[in-house]
Structure 1
Amino acid sequence: MYTGIKEFDLSSSWGINNRDDLIQTIYQMTDDGHANDLAGLYLTWHRSSPEEWKALIAGGSERGLIYTQFVAQTAMCCGEGGIKAWDYVRMGFLSRVGVLNNWLTEEESLWLQSRVYVRAHHYYHSWMHYFSAYSLGRLYWQSSQCEDNTSLREALTLYKYDSAGSRMFEELAAGSDRFYATLPWQPLTVQPECPVTLKDVSDL
């Protein structure tokens, strides 16, 4: 995807300007990213009876109800992990771009990605499961740009991606080199050791 690119600008889209910014973003957003907004609802949906769920969402705001309906419609697809895959995929992206930008070594990137994968494998049971949760997470992320409840409901009910999202998924579906489909979805046989240079985030 980034063949020929020597450096990827993360300042405008992420506010990341150096190695420290990158590492702290990965450290914080792996477990505290956008998915946390709905994490409690996904977990509650899976652990509540229909009556308990109905009582939970009663009396909420219209915007809140739109989001709870989105959770109810997608919970079976995502599982208890909800849309955490959206954050995990992006942290994997940052780990790889860190190498491209000469902010991370291959060893450091591998360790960071291994910590993300442990979480992904815990919550999702296949690449397709992971991809489904990621795609729904992308939908939720873009919904923050909806200015009114009508457009929000339309986006989340019709699974209506913006132009960038539509283009991205079209390219993914059309790609002939779907590497994820050829790799086994299984626990890591060997967990990489945390490099000394990442000791400050060794509890990731």
Structure 2
Amino acid sequence: MKKVCTVCAFICLCLALFADVSSVMLESWNKLSEDEKWFCLLSEPLIEANQLSITTVNPERYVPAGKRSISQQILEDSWDLYSREDVLAIANDYRFKRTGPSARYNELRELLSQTTQKSVQAAVEEIAVKNCLESYVIARLYFVADKLDILGEYGLLAWDYGRMLSVIRRSIAVGWLSEEEALEVAKPFIDEVINAYDSWEDYAVHYSLGSVFHAINEGVDYNASLNSVLEDAKKYDIVVSEDEKDKVFTCHYAKFPGKNRNDNRILTYKDAFYNPSKEAASWIVAAKVERNSNGATKAEAAAANSFLKKKKNIPAAAYRLALLQTNGKNFVLKTASKAFEEALPAFEKVENPSELYFVFYIRYAFIAYCSNDMKKMDSVIPKFSKGTFETADLQYIYCIYYTEKAKTAGYNKKYEDAIEYAKSALFCLKQSDSLQYLGLFDKEILRDYDKKLNGMIEKYRHELRQIEKQRSA
């Protein structure tokens, strides 16, 4: 009997605490304008996940002196945002759908609309080859194909805009934006979202499906991500009686105008799932092994490799297999050369070069250089369209290539050509200083290359002067 009483007392205490917390939340909530309420509500899942305030526009009012706030940690570590200008720039890009998962979703949706293949697998593989898609993009493409009818014309709008609203709110906590400025930036996002969905449940399910798309990119468990988001979204989706509406904070009764919902399906919590096909699941595992190797098990790595061997005609698979055989930068030349030659046919079928395409050919060119195979380098260089993929790695390849051309011209006593090639090599080396280095090969081989090239230029000029002297003698 005593035990039963203790349990009852504990339950009553929990209910009392919940009621007290809910009362405090309602007090803050009722002070907000209609736009401020939407601002807080639509960003609730991510804000709740970090246990910050969901009923105040500033989600983190108290930060201990000398400490980096949770909001600042997330903005810097997860978003690479370090200032007011950074936040305004990314908000503008998201607003006009130039970046973010929603933009990527729409690109994949467009690719699917262009194929005439009848089966999903045939369509995805055709697109993957033509557009040289990476493993995680192929996995995402399967997701888009599977959920196209569910997600409708707005796709991942809920996920993109909900997350962006959380970014804007966190910027208040960090001190980059005032509450008034933040609301002004947030207003277009709010208006578009509330008119695209029917209810909190409809919005939350679209949002949770967006988390799957994001998880595939990050190489993490998409089911765990979806369930976590749903848990946060459902926390305050509480049905209460009329008498309790003034006592319990709930988002269940939020009235979405839904003016632009059109013919899109109204989703319920029953729609919040993703059961990928066997083929899609294999690409998801392959993407996880590539993008989150520390989080992948040995069994997953073995399964991914076995699967990719069956897909050698697809560039992503061919490249991954070649890379595994070369062991990254520390490769055995003969093995690396053979591995990349075996991968080459998959890339020759590409119609629309991507980052993966250029990464493959940069490594291919470097291996050709190490093998003293200038014919291969000659065949690769034209594949790098000017301005298409500007990285330090590519400029290093150009530098190496033009240096070798200069040596050949110099050996053949074509000194004017040799000088021009050496100048081109030097120019490419200088260009690399302002570009991102992907680490596709060890740039230590280029140490003191500027001195070497200047020395070559001076040598060839000297040879030219000697020739001129002989002619005038």
The TM-score normalised by the length of structure 2 is 0.32
Once the two structures are TM-superposed, the CA of residue 113 in structure 1 deviates from its matched residue by 1.8
Residue of structure 2 in register with 1:101 after alignment:
174
Alignment of structure 1 residues 70-81 onto 2, 5 Å: 70-81=143-154
Higher relative contact order (CA 8 A, sep 6+): 1
CA distance in 2, matches of 1:125, 1:100: 30
Residue of structure 2 in register with 1:111 after alignment:
184
Alignment of structure 1 residues 167-182 onto 2, 5 Å: 167-175=228-236, 177-179=249-251, 181-182=252-253
CA distance in 2, matches of 1:53, 1:43: 17
Residue of structure 2 in register with 1:34 after alignment:
101
Any conservation in 2 of the 1:26–1:91 contact (CA below 8 Å)? yes
Any conservation in 1 of the 2:197–2:256 contact (CA below 8 Å)? no
- Point out where structure 1 has 5 or more consecutive residues left out of the alignment: 147-151, 189-204
Report which of the two structures shows the higher radius of gyration computed on alpha carbons.
2
Residue of structure 2 in register with 1:186 after alignment:
257
Distance 1:168 1:129, change over 3 A: closer
CA distance in 2, matches of 1:14, 1:101: 14
2:209 is paired with a residue of what secondary structure? helix
Residue of structure 2 in register with 1:61 after alignment:
128
Distance 1:85 1:172, change over 3 A: closer
What is the identity, as a one-letter code, of the residue corresponding to 2:256? W
CA distance in 2, matches of 1:53, 1:88: 32
- Point out where structure 2 has 5 or more consecutive residues left out of the alignment: 1-50, 54-60, 64-68, 130-134, 239-248, 260-473
Any conservation in 1 of the 2:196–2:258 contact (CA below 8 Å)? no
CA distance in 1, matches of 2:93, 2:186: 14
Residue among 85, 110, 130 paired with 1:20: 85
**Percent identity among equivalent residues?**
21
The TM-score normalised by the length of structure 1 is 0.67
Query: What whole-Å deviation, never above 9, does each CA across 1:158-203 have from its counterpart, x for those lacking one?
Result: x6234xx543432332345442x22211279xxxxxxxxxxxxxxx
Residue of structure 2 in register with 1:160 after alignment:
223
CA distance in 2, matches of 1:183, 1:43: 33
CA distance in 1, matches of 2:153, 2:110: 5
What RMSD in Å do the two structures reach over aligned CA positions? 3.3
Any conservation in 2 of the 1:57–1:68 contact (CA below 8 Å)? yes
Any conservation in 2 of the 1:139–1:161 contact (CA below 8 Å)? no
CA distance in 2, matches of 1:161, 1:185: 28
CA distance in 2, matches of 1:85, 1:72: 18
Alignment of structure 1 residues 131-170 onto 2, 5 Å: 131-146=204-219, 160-162=223-225, 166-170=227-231
CA distance in 2, matches of 1:52, 1:41: 17
Distance 1:53 1:106, change over 3 A: farther
CA distance in 1, matches of 2:155, 2:213: 11
